[in-house]
Amino acid sequence: MSANPLAPGWLSHPEDANALDARVWPRGARRDDDGVVTLAGVPVGDLAREFGTPLYVLDEADALGRAAEIRDAFAAAFPGGSSVYYAGKAFLSIEVARWMADAGLNIDVASGGELAVALAAGVDPSRLGLHGNNKSLPEIDRAVGAGVGAIVLDSVVEVERVAEAARRHGIVQNVRLRINSGVHASTHEYLATAREDQKFGIPISDAVEVVAGIRDHPELRFLGLHSHIGSQIFESAGFGEAARRLLELHAALRAGGDVPELNLGGGFGIAYTSADEVVPMATIADELARVVTGECERLGIPVPKVAIEPGRVIIGPSTVTLYEVGTIKDVLVTGDNGGSAVRRYVSVDGGMSDNVRPALYAADYAVRMVNRSSDADAVLVRVAGKHCESGDIVVRADYLPGDVRPGDLLAVPATGAYCWSLASNYNYLGRPAVVAVKDGAARAIVRRETEDDLLSRDLGARA
């Protein structure tokens, strides 16, 4: 069977459209001899029957394994001290916050709501960091009052706001300063200077003055600099370049006082499709350690404690979204050269409300039929959602067995990060449940939204 000319260049015709690529699927995903896919030992049909679809299914051991591997890789690469913050914006629930804290990770929150979830999980507030380019006064007050370990200052005006809250609570608040290093990596574009044109952080050139201002406040303790250069980054070069730029500044700031830490942010890439080549986190940790120690030697300063804030690389690969096929349509598409080919639209019972990334970032995903295997010839499909938007696409292009039919279950892997957390109620769809699977058992950790939930905030209902 030849490739469909409508297929993008990176997508090859599969030898076996039933195969689960281990680089993209959770570690606990298997296709059993009967053709049914199990996730951590739980058959997908059982999951769909018990919890309904669409459904986020989170392989607990996968997420915990990746968290521990990253923690250990950085501990080994930076023997002088390192810390890993789990970036809760990728996906945060009370249970997941607890897992991460139990695995020895700190947690990075980016709003009062995320802070509330981490506190509800019983995470020691001293292990939390608060981010945000526009934290509200109540958010700052709550964080300071709760005793969060550090607040990342993102603008000059926040220096006084956080100092004032610390004064009110009678404490000294640890702070970091977010720097816009000018390195904003998006795969190969990490040196694009235009990336300085963005809302986060303060320019490197202003930092010495801002840190002096922080140090003038006895209610604030300056821990160090922070940078986050972007997301879904595959190479360590951008992180290395940011580390170099920040360490120059870090060394200069030591003249005015202690600078114990350097935070290099998150953004490490994951494989969404078989075409994505991912660098192991141990390699990234080693390369970063080489850059940081080399640079510190050159500058004649001790290696600071290095912190990172990964979200996607911990939780992203752990989760698949399970959908049921509703309708199927073959559409004859005429190409630029006048030739035509068929694209099969397979519509599922979710869409951009549970995964907005394809619409938001033109993100690509893979898909497999998971309730059965099939020897039918593979056909190019586009998996569409059920929303009233033609851009409501879940998987732009992949191959499925040609006998895929209504009622089949499809699974889209690598949906653990920025899917549930960006989910919406568009078209009044309730947000799906999140189910954790482990050792052959499944339990909901976030329940599905019901119609009652959706109506409960609407004050127009008559008594």
Ligand X SMILES: Cc1ncc(COP(=O)(O)O)c(C=O)c1O
Would you say 90 or 214 has its CB closer to ligand X? 90
Give the DSSP per-residue string, 13-61.
Answer: PPS-TT---TTTS-TTEEE-TTS-EEETTEEHHHHHHHH-SSEEEEEHH
Q: Which one of 217-225, 308-316, 357-365, 443-451 is the stretch in contact with ligand X (CB under 6 A)?
A: 308-316
| CA nearest neighbour of 211 among 176, 246, 261, 166 | 176
Smallest separation (angstroms) from ligand X to the CB of 115: 15
Give the H or E element holding residue 151.
Answer: strand 150-153
Number of residues in contact with ligand X, rule: CB under 6 A? Answer: 17
Should residue 87 be labelled a site residue for ligand X when binding is judged by CB under 6 A? yes
Should residue 309 be labelled a site residue for ligand X when binding is judged by CB under 6 A? yes
Contact 402, 13 (CB under 8 A): no
Burial 314-325 (b: 16+ CB within 10 A, else e): bbbbbbbbbbbb
SS3 161: helix
Would you say 266 or 432 has its CB closer to ligand X? 266
Instruction: Give bridge partners of residue 180 from the DSSP assignment.
Output: 203
- Contact with ligand X (CB under 6 A) among 40, 179, 288, 417: 417
x/- mask, ligand X, residues 215-244, rule CB under 6 A, reads -------------x--x-------------
Should residue 195 be labelled a site residue for ligand X when binding is judged by CB under 6 A? no
Smallest separation (angstroms) from ligand X to the CB of 325: 30
Residue numbers 254-273 binding ligand X by CB under 6 A: 265-268
Would you say 110 or 429 has its CB closer to ligand X? 110
Smallest separation (angstroms) from ligand X to the CB of 195: 14
Should residue 311 be labelled a site residue for ligand X when binding is judged by CB under 6 A? yes
Give the DSSP per-residue string, 253-312.
Answer: HGGGS---EEE----B---SSTT-----HHHHHHHHHHHHHHHHHHHT-PPPEEEE--SH
Should residue 179 be labelled a site residue for ligand X when binding is judged by CB under 6 A? no
Active-site positions read 388
- Contact with ligand X (CB under 6 A) among 11, 55, 90, 264: 90
Cβ atoms within 10 A of the Cβ of 341, count?
Answer: 15
Q: Which one of 39-47, 76-84, 306-314, 357-365 is the stretch in contact with ligand X (CB under 6 A)?
A: 306-314
| CA nearest neighbour of 56 among 371, 303, 420, 387 | 420
Point out which residues bind ligand X (CB under 6 A).
87, 89-90, 108, 131, 228, 231, 265-268, 309-313, 417
